[in-house]
Amino acid sequence: MRKLLLAATAACIATPALAEEAQQPPLTDAERTQAVQELQELRARINRLETRLGVSTEAPPIQYTPPAEKRMKDHNLELYGFVQLDAIQDFKRVNPDWDATLRPSRIPTQEGEFGGDGQSIFSVRQSRLGAKATGEVAGKPYEAKFEFDLYGTGVDAGQTTFRVRHIYGKWGPFLAGQTNTLFMDGDIFPNVVDYWGPTGMVFVRNPQLRWTFVNNGGFEAAVALEHPSDDIDPGRIRLIDENVAANIQSNEELPDLTAAVRYGGDWGHVRLAGILRKIGFETRGTDGNEPEGHETGWGLNATSAIKLGMVTPRLGVVYGRGIATYMNDGGMDLAPAVEIQQGPDGILIVPRAVAVKLLGISAYADLQWSKQLSSAIGYSFTKVDNTNFQEPTAFHKGEYASANLLWTPLDNVLVGAELLWGKRTDNDGDTGTDTRLQTTFKWSFSSKNIWDWFE
């Protein structure tokens, strides 16, 4: 009797429901809950009827468990970058290998050294592509990044070619790979569209091992061991020994030690960084690689960026010995100096290596005129204290100034014009200047989290 009654009831309910389901979309969670409630009420009525008829029932109550909430992903992967065209009108001339940017150290101090004045340059070298993975492993956040642009340097100077910017992995307080040196404060780089930017700030990306041992309450403190790279100027050693001058080279025996402390918040930040390094030199092909030796390099870099309404000053001052390798442009780490001594057989010229003193200053202000219009204006310089045995043409001082107006009609589109001026001063006082106008068109893109595509 019970089975017959249940079968008849189910048939009465299911027949119209199946017909309806074929014509309607799937039920929502709320509709499903309501339907289950109605079914349970019907089950209770059947149970009461069975009791009156003296038929026992053992069917369990129907239960509905709503679907579990989606767990947030532990991993994110983003593909990002931008396409950029720089249209530059140079009113004078720089080294052709560096004509897509303004580096004071590449400005000639002899008229006509690189040809006639006035050059038109179109460049896509700033275009960039990167991939970044973030998430959490074993309760600690991680980040991995691989990023490159097309601005050839070194043996590729002047070429539009692959150039690695960042390639590193970070887990919790530890980082390994190539990224901005810890001696550098990237947050004082102004909103300029010129590629190289202010000459007087620390700016280099180094392979390194880094440990951030404080990161709490706005305070950060970190230390790092970084790849050493020494810039050795042989100066006028050729006047003493041409063979030594032709074969002297850097000798990088120890990694550079860098450290930084920072305090910041929504208002901006202040930061102090330091570096200690061994700057070595040796001579190829000689007995014991003599002459050889080393000097101690050191430096301090104090920086700050403070938000003052529509204006954000970005300021930095760096000073030290043997730190030119870490500067954005200009200088040398080690150079020769001579002492004149009276010997038993006459006057002696005694050469020695010197870690060259350097001072760098960068003073810029970013201005946000409106949501779509912004500017950056400022001045920067790098100055070295040349030794008494460097060439007259050796770099002494580089100056850089710029002002721009940038328009972002869309969040991912930027159009801007920038006026730039640079000056180089040599050890003997000769100077060269350059002025240029750069117009930039930039389109940025991002995939956001790629894993969201597969949901």
Q: Region 223-236: what's the mean pLDDT?
A: 95
Q: How far, in Å, CA of 416 to CA of 404, rounded? A: 7
Q: Mean of the pLDDT values across residues 174-178?
A: 98
Q: Does the pLDDT value for residue 13 go beyond 50?
A: no
Q: How large is the average pLDDT for residues 110-114?
A: 93
Shortest CA distance to 325 belongs to which of 364, 354, 303, 297?
A: 297
Q: Are residues 31 and 160 in the same domain?
A: no
The answer to which of 55-64, 131-140, 240-249, 299-308 has the lowest mean pLDDT is 55-64
* DSSP class per residue in 34-71: HHHHHHHHHHHHHHHHHHHHT----PPPP---PPPPPP
| Token pair of 317 as six digits | 């001052």
**pLDDT of 16 higher than 50:** no
Say whether both 424 and 316 belong to one domain.
Answer: yes
Pairwise pLDDT comparison (203 vs 30), residue with the higher score: 203
Q: Report percent pLDDT > 70 for the chain.
A: 89
Nearest residue to 384 via CA among 360, 401, 407: 360
Helix (H, G, I), strand (E, B) or coil at 188: helix
Neighbours of 308 (CB within 10 A): 10
pLDDT at 66 over 90: no
pLDDT band at 334 (very low <50, low <70, confident <90, very high): very high
Instruction: Show the domain range for 39.
Output: 2-53
pLDDT band at 126 (very low <50, low <70, confident <90, very high): very high
Question: What is residue 405's predicted lDDT score, i.e. its pLDDT?
Answer: 98
Pairing of strands 174-180, 205-216: antiparallel
**How far from 238 is each of 242, 286, 337, 339, 391, CA to CA, in Å?**
4, 16, 13, 16, 10
Question: Is residue 59 in a domain?
Answer: no
Residue the block writes with tokens 């989606």: 70
In a domain, 385, yes or no: yes
In this structure, the answer to whether residues 45 and 165 fall within a common structural domain is no
* Shared domain check, 321 and 199: yes
β pairing state of 256-265 and 160-171: unpaired
pLDDT band at 245 (very low <50, low <70, confident <90, very high): confident
Q: Are residues 390 and 335 in the same domain?
A: yes
Are 49 and 149 found together in one domain? no
Mean pLDDT of the chain: 90
pLDDT higher at 26 or 330: 330
Looking at the fold, whether 22 and 103 belong to one and the same domain comes out as no
Question: Are 18 and 99 part of one and the same domain?
Answer: no
| 270-280: average pLDDT | 97
Q: How far apart are the first and last CA of the chain?
A: 49
Average pLDDT over residues 382-388: 97
Q: State whether 258 and 311 are in the same domain.
A: yes
Counting residues of the chain whose pLDDT is more than 90, the rounded percentage is 76
Identify whether residues 143 and 40 lie together within a single domain.
Answer: no
What pLDDT, on a 0 to 100 scale, did the predictor assign at position 30?
73
Query: With contact defined as beta carbons under 8 Å apart, do 433 and 397 qualify?
Result: no
- The Cα 433–Cα 169 span in angstroms is 42
For residue 448, being part of any structural domain is answered with no
Q: Which residue has the higher pLDDT, 345 or 143?
A: 143
Backbone region of residue 118 per phi and psi (left: phi > 0; alpha: psi in -120 to 50; beta: other values): left
Residues 364 and 276 in one domain: yes
Q: Are 24 and 109 within one domain?
A: no
Element (H, E) at 446: strand 431-446
What global pTM score does this model have? 0.82
Q: Which helix (H) or strand (E) holds 210?
A: strand 205-216
Looking up tokens 């040196």, which residue turns up? Answer: 181
CATH number at 144 reads: 2.40.160
Q: Is residue 333 classed as helix, strand or coil in its secondary structure?
A: coil
Going from the C-alpha of 96 to that of each of 92, 120, 422, the distances in angstroms are 12, 11, 16
Tell me: pLDDT of 166 over 90: yes
**Structural domain includes residue 446:** no
Calpha distance 167→157 (Å, rounded): 21
The number of domains in the chain is 2
- Give pLDDT tens digits for 46-62: 777 777 777 655 555 55
Instruction: Establish if 21 belongs to a structural domain.
Output: yes
Specify if 129 maps to a domain: no
DSSP E strand stretches across 356-412? 357-368, 373-384, 395-410
296 domain-assigned = yes
Q: Do the domain assignments include residue 124?
A: no
Tokens for 293, please give them. 């030796």
